[in-house]
Amino acid sequence: MTSTTRWAILFLAPPLALFAGAVAVPTVMALQLSFTDATLLGDAADWIGLENFRDAFGDQHVRKSIRITLLWTLGGFLIPPALGLGAATMLQSNSRFAVTMKSALFVPIVMSLVVVGQVWIWIYEPGDGLLNRILGAVGLGGLEQAWLANRSTAFFAVFIAWAWQQTVLAMILYLAGLATIPVTLTEAAQVDGATRFQVFRQVTVPLLRPVTTVVLSLIAINSLRNFDLVYAMTRGGPVRETETMPILVYRVLFRELERGRASAISIILFAVTLVIVGGLTWWGRRRSHAV
Amino acid sequence: MPSRAAPAHAGTGAEKAEAPVVGEDRRAGLLRRRGGPIALVVFVVIFLIPVIGVLLTSLKTNAEIARRGIWSATGNLTIDNYLEVWRNANTGRYLINSLQVTGPAVAVSIIGGTLIGYTVAKLRIRGSAFILLVVLSGLFVPPQVLLVPLFTIFNDLNLLDTLWPMIIVHSAVGLSITSLVMRNFFDQIPDSLRSAARIDGANEGQVLLKVMLPLARPAIAALATLQFTFIWNDFLYPLVFTTDDDVRTIMLGLLAAQGQFTVAYGNQAALAVIASIPTVLVFLAFQKHFIRGLLAGAIKG
């Protein structure tokens, strides 16, 4: 063994042991548990093959949580990147106002989702929440309601609170991306007679593609891990209308105390994550090689 | 490697943006001068209302909130809520707990990620690619997958209701992102630097400590900011692994307070502001690093 190999092993052993103990081995254990009927604290568990998975796909609550999670991710792909890019384009100037606002707009991203959830609960408050007050003030008082308690509005209400934060995240990343585009490129296009919109569509947006891949990947991961905000705002209610897959796993594990089923649902979530985020990464690489 | 373009440029970009955009057509320019700022102000106001809402509410008396609502404009501001939250709730304890989790977990995850990233990028022993693949696959594992077995493991080890589960899990989970960023960083450092130091008689440990680490400072700062924000704000692991009030982190304390003082909005808001101060401060200090960390993280997965 060369001395370099010995050093390599010395460097790798401690962090890899930690990773194995707290991430890799537990992941394999979760996979194993998903084939059993284990309960939260009971010792005995029987191997039941794919039954948890069959049950899961037949269970309306699981199917609904998959739909909610996918809808959430789709909404996340469509709304925050578009708004974030628009805002970044507007804030691109270096006027004192824009610079101050850029710093102030950072606060939402470093805010914990507990805090975000809390303030949005106040906005949606049925009595004197901000949204109802505004609707009342502009003569749309008829629309006033308990946004988070109403089964048909709860999902959108929580989604908007989340999109508020993710929009700022997208904006910050696009601002960094816009700053890397040489002004000479956009100028040249304008000299050639392109309108501002054409320059934006045909020069700026394609050049931002690497940033767009980052934005979409982060949003996908954040959507698929969406536990914190839903837990802080609705705990998955009303009547499980906002029950994302992470919330469902938590519920099955700690309320229904079924460890085997909870593992199976978490493994499905893992698979969905692999497909979506893996697909995005592949797409991003292919596109960036093509450019 | 075009995919690495973004983080490399992110740092230098700010200067370029200062160059004025010239040659825009006049009608668009007019629209930009009039319509732009108005749209911008509307956008900024909408996006800052929630932040301002928490700040203002934390400065109002609960009596006033009860009388006039959370969102009323107010005349008399007070810091009583802060004093009360500080005295009554276990706030100091929560903050210390959060620091005791965040500090070690940020440090361990970055040290571990530096070791993995450096070894994979520069020592290139056999199996490096596989090791990196395994560690990076951690980015895809939802926390819920880990919760199921970890709850039982920590229960068996008698570690529930201590701070250890959060320190261990955050340190380990963080290795994926820190290894990725550090690997990408060390990839750009020329090999000749290492060989030169080796020829001068330094061993691999000295090369890493004396030559590579000083160079890696910006990458480490980016990761520290990102990891601090992430771990400080987390409440899933504390929610699952602790029940005792004395081991609650600040975010879990805040969540519990929302149930406790259901009508004392002023107190809730004050606690929320206190809980957010550390991340806002870290952000203000390391704004540029934070963006670079975000960009570097998701690229080249």
Spell B113-122 as b/e; 16+ CB within 10 A means b. Answer: bbbbbbbbbb
Ranges B50-59, B93-102, B218-227, most confident: B93-102
Phi/psi at B22 (5° precision): -115, 165
Report the alpha-carbon distance of residue B152 to residue A41 in Å, rounded.
7
Query: Rounded to an integer, what distance in angstroms lies between the CA atom of residue B114 and that of residue B112?
Result: 5
Tokens (6 digits) for B30: 């007019």
- Residue B23 or residue B203, greater confidence: B203
Provide the angle, in degrees to the nearest 10, between the axes of the packed helices A51-58 and A60-90: 70
The residues near B231 (Cβ < 8 Å, ≥ 6 apart) are B101, B102, B105, B106, B170, B174
Instruction: State residue A89's pLDDT score.
Output: 87
Cα atoms in the 13 Å half-sphere on the side-chain side of A266: 33
- For an interface test with B, give the residue of A5, A11, A199, A250 to mutate (most B CBs within 10 A): A11
Interface contact flag, A16 B43, Cβ < 8 Å = no
pLDDT digits (tens, 9 = 90+) for B203-219: 889 999 999 999 988 88
Question: Which residue among B9, B141, B301 places its CB closest to the CB of A23?
Answer: B141
Please indicate, yes or no, if residue A133 is contained in any of the structural domains: yes
Q: Is the pLDDT of residue B24 over 60?
A: no
CB contacts, 8 Å: A128 with chain B: 69-71
| Average pLDDT of the segment spanning B224-234 | 93
Residues 78-107 of B with CB under 8 A from A: none
User: What ipTM was estimated for this complex?
Assistant: 0.90
pLDDT for B33: 53
Q: Which of B44, B116, B280 sits opposite A101 (nearest CB)?
A: B44
pLDDT at residue B13 tops 50: no
- Grouping H, G, I as helix, E, B as strand and the rest as coil, residue A47 is strand
Residues A8/B119, Cβ–Cβ less than 8 Å: yes
With beta carbons less than 8 A apart as the criterion, state whether A183 and B21 touch: yes
CB contact under 8 A, A180 and B280: no
Stretches where chain A sits below pLDDT 70 are 1, 43, 287-291
Extract the tokens encoding A29.
Answer: 């254990």
Least confident of A217-226, B6-15, B80-89: B6-15
Q: For position B40, what pLDDT does the model report?
A: 77
Helix, strand, or coil (residue A45):
coil
**Maximum CA extent, chain A:** 80
* pLDDT score of A28: 96
DSSP B156-183: HTT-TTSSHHHHHHHHHHHHHHHHHHHH
Of A168-172, B9-13, B25-29, B196-200, give the lowest mean pLDDT range: B9-13
Q: Which of B10, B5, B52, B4 is nearest to B290 (CA)?
A: B10
**Segments making up each domain of chain B, as ranges:** 23-84, 88-298
B292: closest CA among A173, A222, A212, A112? Answer: A173
What pLDDT was estimated at residue B278? 94
pLDDT recorded at residue A193: 83
pTM to 2 decimal places: 0.88
Domain count, chain A: 1
B275 touches A: beta carbon within 8 Å: yes
Residue B99 has pLDDT above 90, yes or no: yes
What are all long-range contacts of B260-268, with beta carbons under 8 Å and residues at least 24 apart?
B263/B62, B263/B66, B264/B62, B265/A122, B265/B57, B265/B62, B265/B65, B265/B70, B266/B57, B266/B58, B266/B59, B266/B60, B266/B61, B266/B62, B266/B65, B266/B80, B266/B81, B267/B62, B267/B81, B267/B84, B267/B85, B267/B89, B268/A118, B268/B57
Band (B143; pLDDT cuts 50, 70, 90): very high
What residues make up the domain containing A73? 52-290
Residue A117 CA to residue A120 CA, distance in Å, equals 5
Q: What is the distance in angstroms between the Cα of A18 and the nearest Cα belonging to chain B?
A: 6
Range B47-57 average pLDDT: 90
pLDDT number for residue B6: 37
Task: Using the structure block, give the residue that is written with the tokens 């794919």.
Answer: A50
CB neighbours of B287 closer than 8 A, spacing ≥ 6? A103, A106
What pLDDT is stored for residue B21 in this prediction?
46
Residue A30, pLDDT score: 94
Higher pLDDT, A194 or B115: B115
**Which residue out of A16, A134, A158, A225 would a mutagenesis test of the B interface target, given it has the greatest number of B Cβ atoms within 10 Å?**
A16
Give, as one character, the DSSP assignment of residue B202.
-
| Domain CATH number, residue A260 | 1.10.3720.10
Q: What is the pLDDT of residue A91?
A: 83
Span B121-140, average pLDDT: 91
Query: Are A125 and B2 inside 8 Å of each other by CB?
Result: no
Q: Are B260 and A180 in contact (CB under 8 A)?
A: no
Percent of chain A with pLDDT over 90: 51
Q: pLDDT tens for residues A71-128?
A: 999 999 999 999 999 989 888 877 777 777 777 888 888 899 999 999 999 999 888 8
CB B208 within 8 A of CB A89: no
**Within a 13 Å sphere around the CA of B51, how many CA atoms are in the beta-carbon half?**
22
Tokens 């009583």 — which residue?
B80
- The dotted CATH code for B88-298 is 1.10.3720.10
CA within 13 Å, CB half, B126: 2
Q: What is the mean pLDDT of chain B?
A: 83
Q: Is the pLDDT of residue B283 over 90?
A: no
